[in-house]
A = this chain, B = another copy of it.
Amino acid sequence: MIGTPASSMKDRIAHKLRAAIVEGTTKPGQRVLDERELMERQNVARGTAQAALAVLLREGLIVARPPEGYFVRDRRPLDYRPQLESIPVPRPVPTGVAAGPADAAAAVGLTDATAAGAAVSTGAEAILEPFLADSSAGRVLEAKLDVGIDRPPAEVLERLDLRLDEPAVVRRRMCLLDGEPVLVSDTYLPYSIAQGTVLELDDLGVDVNEVLAELGHAQLRVSDEFRVRLSTPEEAQRLALPAAMPVACHIATGYTAAERAVRVVVGVLPGDRHVIRFERRG
């Protein structure tokens, strides 16, 4: 009509909708105009209205919930702090009575307010590693664990320095916040180390690093890598993402004093649900 004054129609519609969301005019949980309504109100074809909504979908601002419509998403982020993971140094195993709840909460970095407000099911131990700290109270964190023996993916094989056919014990963990998946993280341990130990137990309470240290494989050094990319379809499904969304892929590799890699953790974090934090000193 008027040419293209600023950008495409799709983008202008997306912009309007986005503005209403980020400014709080339409609040989390509220329904936004659906494709056919937008089509009429903005005088565009349905495909155009849908393209605009698809932008917000990918940005994680809305979810599609047919046949009810599109709804504004609650996207308060969680803190993800790998440094809070405890890496027992190779000294005699501490015999203190309880490395229990108090220590655990501290290590996870729960603030007082949060520790008080957030209900943590399946045990706080569930989220000990890789250390989710809830940054707003009143939300429910759950964790699930599935342990098995498997052939690790190539990226894990090379980091653990395993042969192609060599298996590993895999501890697959999934964290849910208010019922929605917010993190999957798979811990790979060489079969030669983990075989026959408590590491094979399907128990969220097992502190992998502690056990590794007891087995004589204490980790001195951990290397953290983060890659940022779009979620694969498989990940999108596992994480119940509304679309292919940006994720951070975290690969942590733990090395012993002899520089042997004894543990690889592969975590996938939906981008809009996390803030990754590190602290350093000069």
Cross-chain contact B281 with A230 (CB below 8 angstroms): no
CB-CB contacts below 8 Å: A174-214 with B: none
Which B residue's beta carbon lies closest to that of A85? Answer: B280
Cross-chain contact A269 with B228 (CB below 8 angstroms): yes
Q: A11-B233, A246-B246, A248-B248 are in contact. Are A82 and B278 (CB under 8 A)?
A: yes
Q: A246-B230, A248-B228 are in contact. Are A223 and B279 (CB under 8 A)?
A: yes
Q: A88-B282, A219-B282, A271-B246 are in contact. Are A228 and B228 (CB under 8 A)?
A: yes
Number of copies of this protein chain within its complex: 2
Cross-chain contact B275 with A226 (CB below 8 angstroms): yes
CB distance from A161 to the nearest CB of B (A): 18
Which residues of B are found within 8 Å of A247, using beta-carbon distances?
A: 228, 246
Q: A246-B229, A248-B248 are in contact. Are A218 and B282 (CB under 8 A)?
A: yes
Which B residue's beta carbon lies closest to that of A280? Answer: B222
CB-CB contacts below 8 Å: A40-91 with B: 47, 55, 58-60, 77, 82-83, 87-89
CB distance from A226 to the nearest CB of B (A): 4
Which residues of B are found within 8 Å of A279, using beta-carbon distances?
A: 221-224
Is there a chain B Cβ closer than 8 Å to A276's Cβ? yes
Is there a chain B Cβ closer than 8 Å to A277's Cβ? yes
Is there a chain B Cβ closer than 8 Å to A163's Cβ? no
**Whole-angstrom CA separation of A42 from B144 in the bound complex:** 42
CB distance from A66 to the nearest CB of B (A): 16
Which residues of B are found within 8 Å of A4, using beta-carbon distances?
A: none
CB distance from A215 to the nearest CB of B (A): 15
**Whole-angstrom CA separation of A160 from B11 in the bound complex:** 33
**Whole-angstrom CA separation of A281 from B55 in the bound complex:** 41
Cross-chain contact A225 with B277 (CB below 8 angstroms): yes
* A interface residues with partner B (beta carbon < 8 Å): 7, 11, 47, 55, 58-60, 77, 82-83, 87-89, 218-230, 233, 244, 246-248, 269, 271-272, 274-282
A-B contact pairs, 10 of them (CB 8 A): A7-B233, A11-B233, A58-B244, A221-B281, A225-B275, A226-B226, A228-B228, A228-B247, A246-B246, A246-B271
A221-B280, A225-B275 are known contacts; what are 13 more A-B pairs with Cβ within 8 Å?
A: A55-B244, A58-B58, A58-B230, A58-B244, A59-B229, A82-B278, A83-B280, A89-B282, A222-B282, A224-B280, A226-B276, A228-B248, A248-B248
